[in-house]
Chains A and B, each alone.
Chain A
Amino acid sequence: MKSSPRYPTMKKTLLLAALCAACGLLMNAAPAEATLQQLQIGMTVPDFSLKQTSGEPKTLAETGGAKMTAILFWSTSERNSEKALARFQKLYQKYRNQGFAVVAVNAGGQNTSAAALQKISATAERLGLTFPLLVDTGLTYFHDVGVIALPTTILADKDRTITYELSGYPLIGSEEMADYIAAVLENKPQSAAVVKKGYYPGKQALRLYDMGKNSLKSGRMADGAEMWFKKAVEADARFVMPHISLGKFYLERGNEELAKLQFQEALAKEPNNVTAMCESALLLINSGKVAEGEALLTQARSTDEFYTPCYYYGGLAYGKQGNLADAARMFDEAEKINPMDYNIQIYKGRMFSEVKNQSKAVEAYRKALEMMLSLD
């Protein structure tokens, strides 16, 4: 009797093991740490008063769900927004009678023209959306929350506490989020990947952190923010955002050494904190260690592909190296993720200034101001 040809057993086993390892890595990939610039899981989502396309104003209290509210920031010019909207329509239809509400906030631009409103309504009709569609004219709420990418989803409980956040609409991340929604609304246990997604800082630490943020916003009390952020860290040693805020505070005051220490503290507590990684990278780039900075940015982008600073800092790094093609690619990627982020234009301006292209630098800075002033 002849024996049939077979793949060596060892090779098959190794291939299978490699596939399993890859799947495991994908399923348990460290969660994106930089969905929002002003908020994180455990904090309270701010209220809003935004108009529907009909012009009728709505608040979070009026549109929120008894058990869970999904706030979806989206744009008609962003490719994944329709996928997110369509998926949420299905979730809404399934769970609306179980205390689930969805609010879609269009953050498509500073000014909302009649044509833009028409596009929003057309999208709603095409996708058969039945949840409220609000328009964030002036992008006030967008900036209040600190949205980085579009689409971005925030899930909040009945007390408006953020329980989940997702930047962009990645394949696996969006499935995890849908699983989380189902688990909460059906009172089922959550998967391990979801449970480890966020750390809830202590209430006292959150209060102190909010005091720091309010000090910064007030302008005249801004210097007092340092004390509040430090107290927030004292109140909860695991709370990372105060370190990020302190780092940015010191950077604005030109103290790069203190800023570097704060970002290092953040990374010591949360090694995958993409904000700390990108800010540390920028410090390296500014100190002339461009290649080192770019390597850190590449690592950061692989952790969170939707955090725009990692791209526009990268644009600056490539520009400093004379690689204008890759610099342009980085800025383009950043604009695809968040066309409303005027920092992209600021860093473009910086990059063009570095390469002595004055006219392009002027154009970029002008665009940044137009976005800030809602003149675009």
Chain B
Amino acid sequence: MNIRFVILVLLASLSLSVPVASAIPAEGGKAQGEQPSGPQETPPAAAKSSLDDDIRALREQITAAPADSILRIRLGYLLVKKNSLDEAQLSFAEALKLNPRSHSAQTGEGIVLAGKGNLKEAEEMLKAALVMNPDPVRTHYELGMVYEKLGDLENALKEYKAGLRKHEQGRK
């Protein structure tokens, strides 16, 4: 039997263990030194009570593992979902203190700034996040939204198309 064929079969079988990514920009790849403390989670269902439960659970986990930037990032995104922008901003800021190169935290910070109406600052933060990691679809989407709110439709279109391309390429 062709040895190259056997190797390809083995590699293809190993590739089955790739985890499903979530809508939260995944950490890893170009960002250095980031070690997710647990499996990626999909954002929780929108029912308000389960969102509060998830927030509560994350806060407890953070108390137990205060140096885990990933937990703070997850908390930040849940707080954004709840529209608690100030608390979300604190969470992302704490994540960035622990890991200044976290593109997820930068994206989160960008989302908060946009939500508070600081569009130019949001643009800078999101562009910085893309320099860290050009892949996350969410970052392109959020930057597109900022451009749309600024009335810059050309750049909004560019970012949305970039996000769609990344999604097609299997980037998350």
Contact = CB atoms under 8 A, between A and B. Distances in A.
B13 to A, nearest CB: 8
Nearest to A112: B45
Given A111-B45, A358-B153, A373 B18 contact: no
Nearest to A140: B20
What is the predominant secondary structure among interface residues of chain B facing chain A? helix
B8 A362 contact: no
Given A221-B11, A369-B141, A374 B23 contact: yes
A368 interface: yes
A228 B137 CA distance: 29
Interface string A106-135: 000001111001000000000000000000
Contact of A373 (B46, B141, B154, B168): B141
A211 to B, nearest CB: 5
B23 A375 contact: yes
Contact of A217 (B18, B48, B141): B18
A369 B12 contact: no
Interface residues of A, number: 37
Given A362-B153, A362-B160, A369-B164, A374 B43 contact: yes
B16 interface: yes
A366 B145 contact: yes
B12 A228 contact: yes
B103 to A, nearest CB: 16
A373 B138 contact: yes
B148 to A, nearest CB: 6
Interface residues of B, number: 34
B161 interface: yes
B3 interface: no
A113 B47 contact: yes
A54 to B, nearest CB: 13
Contacts of B43: 374
A111 B153 CA distance: 28
B157 interface: yes
Nearest to A359: B153
Contact of B164 (A219, A368, A374): A368
Interface of A: 111-114, 117, 137-138, 140, 211, 214-215, 217-222, 224, 227-228, 252, 346, 349, 353, 358-359, 361-362, 365-366, 368-370, 372-375
Given A215-B12, A222-B170, A362-B156, 11 more contacts: A112-B45, A117-B47, A211-B9, A214-B15, A215-B15, A221-B15, A224-B12, A353-B157, A365-B164, A369-B160, A373-B141
11 contacts: A111-B45, A218-B18, A224-B8, A252-B168, A365-B144, A365-B164, A366-B148, A369-B137, A372-B137, A372-B167, A373-B141
